[in-house]
Chains A and B, each alone.
Chain A
Amino acid sequence: MIGYLIRRILQMLIVLFFVTVFTLFLVHLFPGGPIRALLGPRATVEQVAYFNKLYGFDQPFYVQYGKWVWQLLHGNLGYSPKLNQTVTGLIAQDLPKTIVLVGLGTLVSLVFGIPLGMYQAVKRYTVSDYVLTGISFLGYATPTFFFALLLVEWFAVDSHIFPPFAPQGSSVGQVLSQPRALVLPVIAYAFLLYALWSRYMRSSVMDNLVQDYVRTARAKGASERRVLWGHIFRNSLTAIVTLLGLSLPTLVAGAIFIEVVFNYPGMGLAFYNAALNVDYQTLLGFTVLATLATIVGNLLADVSYAVLDPRVRYT
């Protein structure tokens, strides 16, 4: 296992290398260079030249890259002139809030998705199955932002049950202190995920129900309930845990649309603003963080799969 982990970490580093090079290259694609894009069209040539020198953009690419990586390794993700904050500071401020949103949303989606998916498998091809399948289809096909819009329209604007905007505030505590404002964003986020989990559970449980080992369990005298919860549930769950690992990157970037609609002060909104303002340092920092999250998430997913499935663990 140790050897495996070392090998994976090495692979991760290679991937990080490729990605960071690419991202830096991407930043250079802004017309006129990132500095001009940042300063806007009214910047003078001298101003651009000055900042180019200041931020090192007049150096060859590999030098820029080297300096940047050096910075990164020291935990310095850059500085956002537009927000007058270090990128690290920005992340420290916004990431916890996004985690709250995404965490709650994922929890809600699992709480509904898994049992309903199993229920659908047991009651397959009945009316309730079709109805729930229809709801899942809606979950796939509805753009998250549209669903969020509708929620706001129905529950906030028209009926004033919930406030139309998400809780504002710079700390997690402030966010959590306005629970009513959290309800709509969480539901909006959870809907798509719910569709995925319930579809997956439904097909996984259905596949398992016709497996031989289920017949053996019945032959032993197990009740249908025991078969479902004692045998099938465990086997279907393994893959969901793996999928959860793969959804780690959503902590950084996944909730962009929700945060924009509800004006939720999290990572997604910050990224969006940074994109619009060509705040390239923020963009770079966030992208690298998101990539890191993806890679770590993949690793966790693979490891959890190896740990949970005895066929892999004891080969």
Chain B
Amino acid sequence: MAPLLEISDLHTEIRLRQGVVHAVDGVSLQVEHGETLGIVGESGCGKTMTALSIMNLLPTGGHITGGSITLAGTEISGLSDDALRNVRGNEIGMVFQDPLTSLNPTMTVGKQISEAVLLHREVSKEQAMDRAAEVLDLVGLPRVRERINEYPHQFSGGMRQRVMIAMALACEPKLLIADEPTTALDVTIQKQILELIDDLRRRLGMAVILVTHDLGVIAGRADRVAVMYAGKIAETTDTGTLFANPRHPYTEALFHALPDKAAATRQRLYSIPGLPPDLTHPPTGCRFAARCRYATDRCREEEPTLRGETVQHEFACFYPVGAAERAGAAVAASEPVTYASALPPDTSGETLLRVQKLVKDFPVTKGVVLQRRVGWVSAVADVSFEIRRGETFGLVGESGCGKTTIGRLVVGLDTPTAGAINFEGKDLAKVSGRQYRRDRRKIQFMFQDSYSSLDPRMRAGTILREPLAVQGMGSKAEQQKRISEMLDHVGLPQTAVDRYPHEFSGGQRQRLGFARALMLSPDLIVADEPVSALDVSIQAQVLNLMRDLQRELGLTYLFISHDLAVVRYLSTRIGVMYLGKLVEVGPADEVYLTPAHPYTRGLIDSAPTPDPHAERAKVDAGVRGELPSAIHPPSGCRFRTRCPRVQAICAEVEPPMTPFPGEGHLAACHFPMEIPVGAPARAPAA
């Protein structure tokens, strides 16, 4: 049967002030009826531009300059805008990344969806609204009749994305293009949305193009995959084969950079050196050659075409994985292990940081003009944990769980409403003034967004000097010396001192932020989502750096992230938070492999892993429902509204932290998944 969508040798350019970017440079793809094609790649690879080119929704300055796109046999790439409008929303539907900005804020949800219907069907307004209600019901929106007249901002992120999907499906298109549909959502909601898309695909007999940077999502949802790099397709095959037998060195390198695979052994991640090429002047030869371990001169001069031994598996490389004549050393999957265990042996057991019954409430003001207090957000509710010297404590949870707030409290950016933070035995709240500012030296912070945490008007050298200047440490010469020392530590060149933050790449800025945190020789570094905004290959670099420096300088980390794989890879111990509460804490492997709390289990199940078989097996797992309000959190156990094991007692009594097998493994649940220490074996609730 002929494919539903066929893209042949597509070329898309974007005209900018400083030149022309060849965003898509000769891409060919097919999508069969009813299948999910995944397009995966890092930022700048052209996957989004490819998706936008299909319906010609390119940004200002973008044009398709070559190739053809046919939908069910009809050519659509050269169509006039009028003709293309028949396709958009009608035969092809599209869902975008950020549902908040992608919906018109001043139009009700129902009106926006019925607009889609009215544009393509000869029906009355009432009929269109009925159809809107129908399709909102289809995507699982509760209480449709009530909510159909509400505005986008009144919905949660996951609900908004359902609305977007409903809008895209209103006219029952044959193809759905989803451009990073879940990247802006929490992991547990992400799973729900991806499941929804899958479910709808089967029910409506649609095909889906899923564009994402997340290999785990691809593993779980795509039937076939195309890996893109620098505007071209590097490899394409079905999902199982891709993960089991990658042929292109880029794909192979990507897998080696993922913390998921290295988590169990905690080996050093492979980090791909360099950066993707500049697409205003694409290089001759293979685009990956500059960063490839196996590149030869031939790779740099001649461009490999996409071909394969079987039609089902194509790749563009002269020396694919498994080929006989490979240059370069036979590099192992990961670098040789120099330390078998996760972390340095100097975990002397001394407690460095102790957080006791920490509480933080934020006042809520309503409205833009009103600004009056209507309640309190319980951001952190009675959290206690300890961090020992030399270890990495990973704090993991979804949005609104309070992990970032805890990080800020520890570092002094906010003051707790109640509770104590003890550092090296001293209660920080009791220290003030100059002594406080000096004690601050020992706890430093790495911000999530390096771009907004570095003063854009200061040069890197000045930024690095500032901590020393504030604390009055060292003479000018000594400070200079320390700055160059630190730049060496983090792998930045000495010329960096004169540069401004915007002149660095994302990964380099993160290193700069890291260097700044190290300037005062702290004992504890609180890192708030330090790698979340980075591509996989850059992420690997920064993670390796953090580990190396931890050994070298004897650092302790409080590592905050929503990404379980990264947390598990880096941490000795993990704490799981939900809606302001610490629900489980314990050694990383224990928590990950034998979670006691249902939420932890749900979190682990929801997080996409790059293993197709494991992903398909997770069919019914995950966490259902939506995050409750933090202003009025559920009584008793805060997780009870979404818990599969919930009983009456969960609403009345807040579960205490009970110990489980494993050192320091605690969880707060009345009906945990594992058997607590000292409890008789009992059958878990159904």
The reply, when asked whether chain A contacts chain B directly with Cβ atoms under 8 A, is: yes
Contact A221 B90 (CB under 8 A): yes
CB-CB contacts of B33-74 with A at 8 A, as 1s and 0s?
000000000000000000000010101100000000000000
Cβ-based interface call for B89 (8 A)? yes
Cβ-based interface call for B9 (8 A)? no
Cβ-based interface call for A219 (8 A)? yes
A residues within 8 A CB of B102? 212-213, 215-216
Determine which of A213, A217, A221, A226 lies in contact with B105 in the assembled complex, contact meaning CB atoms within 8 Å.
A213
Contact A314 B150 (CB under 8 A): yes
Query: Given the complex of chains A and B, what is the CA–CA distance between A305 and B153 in angstroms?
Result: 16
Cβ-based interface call for A302 (8 A)? yes
Within 8 A of A (CB), among B86-132: 86-90, 93-94, 96, 98, 101-107, 115-116, 119-120
Contact A222 B119 (CB under 8 A): yes
Cβ-based interface call for B81 (8 A)? yes
**In the assembled complex, how far is the CB of residue A240 from the closest CB belonging to chain B, in whole angstroms?**
14
Contact B60 A212 (CB under 8 A): no
Determine which of A210, A234, A305 lies in contact with B60 in the assembled complex, contact meaning CB atoms within 8 Å.
A210
Contact A220 B368 (CB under 8 A): no
Determine which of B96, B103, B119, B164 lies in contact with A221 in the assembled complex, contact meaning CB atoms within 8 Å.
B119
Within 8 A of A (CB), among B114-169: 115-116, 119-120, 150-151, 153-154, 164, 167-168
Contact A314 B151 (CB under 8 A): yes
Cβ-based interface call for A207 (8 A)? no
A216 and B106 in contact, given A210-B60, A312-B368 (Cβ under 8 angstroms): no
Interface residues on A, range: 20 to 34
Chain A's closest residue to B52 (CB) is: A215
**In the assembled complex, how far is the CB of residue A302 from the closest CB belonging to chain B, in whole angstroms?**
5
A234 and B106 in contact, given A310-B153, A314-B150, A314-B151 (Cβ under 8 angstroms): yes
Determine which of B105, B115, B153 lies in contact with A222 in the assembled complex, contact meaning CB atoms within 8 Å.
B115
**In the assembled complex, how far is the CB of residue B173 from the closest CB belonging to chain A, in whole angstroms?**
10
Query: Given the complex of chains A and B, what is the CA–CA distance between A123 and B247 in angstroms?
Result: 49
**In the assembled complex, how far is the CB of residue B98 from the closest CB belonging to chain A, in whole angstroms?**
6
Query: Given the complex of chains A and B, what is the CA–CA distance between A230 and B68 in angstroms?
Result: 32
Determine which of A215, A217, A219, A306 lies in contact with B367 in the assembled complex, contact meaning CB atoms within 8 Å.
A306
Query: Given the complex of chains A and B, what is the CA–CA distance between A222 and B153 in angstroms?
Result: 23
A221 and B57 in contact, given A215-B102, A315-B366 (Cβ under 8 angstroms): no
Chain B's closest residue to A306 (CB) is: B369
**In the assembled complex, how far is the CB of residue A217 from the closest CB belonging to chain B, in whole angstroms?**
7
**Number of chain B residues whose Cβ lies closer than 8 Å to a Cβ of chain A:** 40
Cβ-based interface call for A58 (8 A)? no
Cβ-based interface call for A235 (8 A)? yes
Query: Given the complex of chains A and B, what is the CA–CA distance between A4 and B367 in angstroms?
Result: 11
**In the assembled complex, how far is the CB of residue A132 from the closest CB belonging to chain B, in whole angstroms?**
20
Contact B104 A213 (CB under 8 A): yes
Contact A305 B106 (CB under 8 A): no
Cβ-based interface call for A153 (8 A)? no
A212 and B150 in contact, given A4-B370, A221-B90, A231-B107 (Cβ under 8 angstroms): no
Cβ-based interface call for B85 (8 A)? yes
B residues within 8 A CB of A305? 368-369
Chain B's closest residue to A238 (CB) is: B106
CB-CB contacts of A82-110 with B at 8 A, as 1s and 0s?
00000000000000000000000000000
B residues within 8 A CB of A4? 367, 369-370
Query: Given the complex of chains A and B, what is the CA–CA distance between A278 and B75 in angstroms?
Result: 80
Contact A310 B106 (CB under 8 A): yes
A residues within 8 A CB of B55? 219
Within 8 A of B (CB), among A134-182: none
A residues within 8 A CB of B150? 314
A residues within 8 A CB of B116? 220-221
Query: Given the complex of chains A and B, what is the CA–CA distance between A314 and B147 in angstroms?
Result: 13
Cβ-based interface call for A211 (8 A)? yes
**In the assembled complex, how far is the CB of residue B370 from the closest CB belonging to chain A, in whole angstroms?**
5
B residues within 8 A CB of A219? 55, 57, 88-89, 93-94, 96, 168
Query: Given the complex of chains A and B, what is the CA–CA distance between A108 and B180 in angstroms?
Result: 47
B residues within 8 A CB of A314? 150-151, 153-154
CB-CB contacts of A210-253 with B at 8 A, as 1s and 0s?
11110111111111101000110011001000000000000000
Query: Given the complex of chains A and B, what is the CA–CA distance between A51 and B367 in angstroms?
Result: 53
Query: Given the complex of chains A and B, what is the CA–CA distance between A217 and B103 in angstroms?
Result: 9
Chain B's closest residue to A3 (CB) is: B372
Chain A's closest residue to B367 (CB) is: A315
Query: Given the complex of chains A and B, what is the CA–CA distance between A224 and B115 in angstroms?
Result: 14
Query: Given the complex of chains A and B, what is the CA–CA distance between A222 and B112 in angstroms?
Result: 11
A220 and B119 in contact, given A238-B106, A305-B369, A314-B154 (Cβ under 8 angstroms): yes
Contact B151 A310 (CB under 8 A): yes
CB-CB contacts of A1-27 with B at 8 A, as 1s and 0s?
001100000000000000000000000
A residues within 8 A CB of B106? 234-235, 238, 308-311
Contact A220 B369 (CB under 8 A): no
A215 and B96 in contact, given A231-B107, A310-B105, A314-B151 (Cβ under 8 angstroms): yes
B residues within 8 A CB of A238? 106
Determine which of A221, A306, A311 lies in contact with B120 in the assembled complex, contact meaning CB atoms within 8 Å.
A221
Contact B368 A212 (CB under 8 A): no
Contact B151 A311 (CB under 8 A): yes
Contacts from B to A (Cβ < 8 Å): 55, 57, 59-60, 81-82, 85-90, 93-94, 96, 98, 101-107, 115-116, 119-120, 150-151, 153-154, 164, 167-168, 366-370, 372
10 nearest A-B residue pairs (beta carbon): A221-B89, A220-B89, A212-B101, A221-B88, A310-B151, A212-B102, A219-B94, A220-B116, A213-B104, A221-B85
A-B contact sample (15 more), CB < 8 A, given A230-B115, A308-B106, A315-B366: A211-B101, A213-B101, A216-B102, A217-B104, A218-B88, A220-B88, A221-B86, A221-B89, A223-B85, A231-B107, A234-B107, A306-B369, A310-B106, A311-B105, A311-B106
Can you list 29 A-B pairs, Cβ within 8 angstroms, ordered by A? A210-B59, A212-B101, A212-B102, A213-B105, A215-B57, A216-B103, A216-B104, A216-B167, A219-B89, A219-B93, A219-B96, A219-B168, A220-B89, A220-B119, A221-B87, A221-B120, A222-B115, A223-B82, A224-B81, A234-B106, A234-B107, A305-B368, A311-B105, A311-B106, A311-B151, A314-B153, A314-B154, A315-B366, A315-B367
